[in-house]
Structure 1
Amino acid sequence: MSAKSLQVLISGAGIGGPVAAYWLAKAGHDVTVIERAPMLRKEGQTVDIRKEGLKVIEWMGIRRQIDERTTKEAGIRLVDTKGKVWAAFPQTGDTSFTSEVEIVRGELAMLFYEISKSNVKYIFGTTIHDFTETDDGVNVTLKSHSHDELQQEKFDIIIAAEGLYSRTRAKAFQEDIGKPIHSLNAFSTSFSLPADKSDTLWASATMFPKKRAVLTRPDGFGRTRVTINWFDQGGDARAIVHPSTTIDKQKEFVQLRFQDVSSWNLPRLLKGLAVSDDLYSSEIGQTKTSSWSRGRVVLLGDTAYCPSAMTGMGTTAAIVGAYVLAAEIVRQPADHAKAFKAYDTHLRSWIEQIQQLSPGVSLAAPSSRIGVGILYWVVYVISLLLKLGVGDLMSKILIASHPRVALPPVSTFDTPAEARS
């Protein structure tokens, strides 16, 4: 097998796409990243990076920059509608609700873009309109949304990092866009507003009847990030978070969803929602596919194996997946099929483990007012036990059982192309 420099197209400039681009470009491949949005998205909630994901960003040499942009979140508190704190869980290590690195998604995406842009070609406002595979590559028609133009390009492989609903995945696998998505009947709207004196470095969660919740978190830059979650088995919620729905309609839907409840800080949050310019609404679900590649198209991040926000591992999975995929491509540049298979084999067991949801997830979203009250008392007792030291043993058990995956050595990307042949 002769060494080969690849022409790589990556669709999606979120988290996984730029990380894969960075490592592939580092190994000498020609990488183009396209993104549907006209610029890098600034919206999004706070995300965390854990374990192997931290190792990858350290190898990228940006751990210091990330630490400078973290939210400095102290932990999370459960607060009732009158502002009373029932329980507090500080950032204490690997098993806490708040990870060592909490950062706004847009800030993280910007860092990955900044570190990769000198060696990677980025094209915004552009999507894959169509593609056709040949014996020696894939012919791609790119569509520029700003000029409504089509352009023909040829690449060796396509990496689809487009999120939960991926058109490229649907075309490659010749299936409905929603087929691999396992719905959790959960939805989320996030936005930011200026922090005030009631906001601290603690995140605060408030539960409401009818399976609704509001989470506020610091962002490290003088603003408060708000995430509004709700469960709904009907089709209205799914339609409202669809990208084709206007922002104004999404705002109206959420406001109506919470008009029957009162809370000490809800009026301020809903007022901030009304004037926000960084609103982002989405469905919370999981992606499960029997294969992460088809022909010359390979899936990455949420497009391939979204674990959902309920696991807290989505960002880590995207970073680790991007690194492993790039490593396998670098190891076998002249045989994309073997590289894609090795990527799948390397990560699938780990992904399946982190996709497993806790049995108590459904119980954490009560339907009735009584259920909410019971939940608060249960969480209060848990926090009390942790303060008494029971948490030390629980942490050791959780750490020992936490899924692990071995990462290819970083030297993979420094080996001369001749030696990789």
Structure 2
Amino acid sequence: MRLIRKIWLMVLLVPPFWGEAQELAYNGDPDVSFFTARTLAFDGNRNVARDTLCHILTKYPDYTDVRSLLASTYSWDGDYDKARSHFNRITSVERENKEVWVATIKNEIYAENYYLALGLANKAVSFLENDIDIIALQARTLALVKKGKQETPKPTEFTPSNDTLTAARGLKNGVKISNSFEIFDVVYDPMIYSSISYGRETGAGLVIPKINYSNRFQTHGLQYELDFYPKFSKTFYGYLNYGYSNAPIFPDHRVGAELYANLPKSLEASLGMRFLDFNTSKAQIYTGSIGLYSGNYYFSLRPYLTPQPNGNMSFSGNLLMRKYLRDGYNYLGINFGMGYSPELKQLRDDEELLAETLLFIESQRLGMEYQFTAKNSPNIYKASLGVNRQELVFDSGKFTWSISAGISYEIKF
């Protein structure tokens, strides 16, 4: 009897709770609810307005005006990080929405992130080239950066927002210094890699001359490189590379070319090749990539195909994932690679330096990276840490483990 009573009690109690849960799901008119929330927001009842807006988004997550108003209410109340996350989600998809770009840029001005505001303004101009309001806002943010003026205007207007992932900060030059090392558990001595480069943004695209230094197997070497990223249109840009060295630990000549395309739905794709000319052989590598920007996240998959001397084709691939923080210069990343590595970390077999053999050596790689800038400074810091498992050149099927670490510092001006 007691069991029957408990069952009946549960039956009687469940409908009210079920009805309450049903009420949690949004089933109203989103347009009416939006205008109601907007009125509440303008009247100062922002918490109530946010509850309504969040309720609408549970069923209509792509309702731009709703998400933009929600972001704006956070910005008005000084919660710039929350506002940024919602603005990011919109501008990563809607790249020509003027009102949202304006709100996004002003959010960073209110937060006194003037370099980020300028980067966003530059990005907005690239999508809305002849818009007078956007150009004026770009000039305003540039003035704030140059003068260091601490302007914190109070937002009063409603602006119905952040593709910061590739936004430039408006600075044309950069000098970068990088250092890294790799330590092996067996056979190989530590390897050292260093480089210094100068980047210059020109009307034709970014140009980066670079000098690489390496010390491996008690052998020093220098390599001279030039990278060029030409701009063809809003949709297409390229990558061209040439490197030269007379050191045995580098290829004599290195050539690279790739064409990138910005696609709809926040996608990016590329197709290219690398050519490596060694003393005793040549290697040609075919590569490409597919990338996706999703909110504050970026995902990229890059395969490599390398013809072998015996007529077979070796394959390797790399998967990169990044979470962007304040802007496109601040992020956490992780990358995983496997297969036959196309990266050259030249090895030795007894006294013979095997510059090209690593193209056909099996390996797996896991790496982490953290890039950041100081507040109100354009200079960029980066740290990386990786673990590698690599086949021994002279003992096929057996592997060595290594740990790599690196730091870099770039001065922007």
TM-score range, shorter chain: under 0.3
**Which has a greater percent of strand?**
2
Of structures 1 and 2, the larger Rg is shown by: 2
Larger relative contact order (C-alpha < 8 A, sep ≥ 6)? 1
Report the TM-score when normalising by structure 2. 0.24
**Which has a greater percent of helix?**
1
Report the TM-score when normalising by structure 1. 0.24
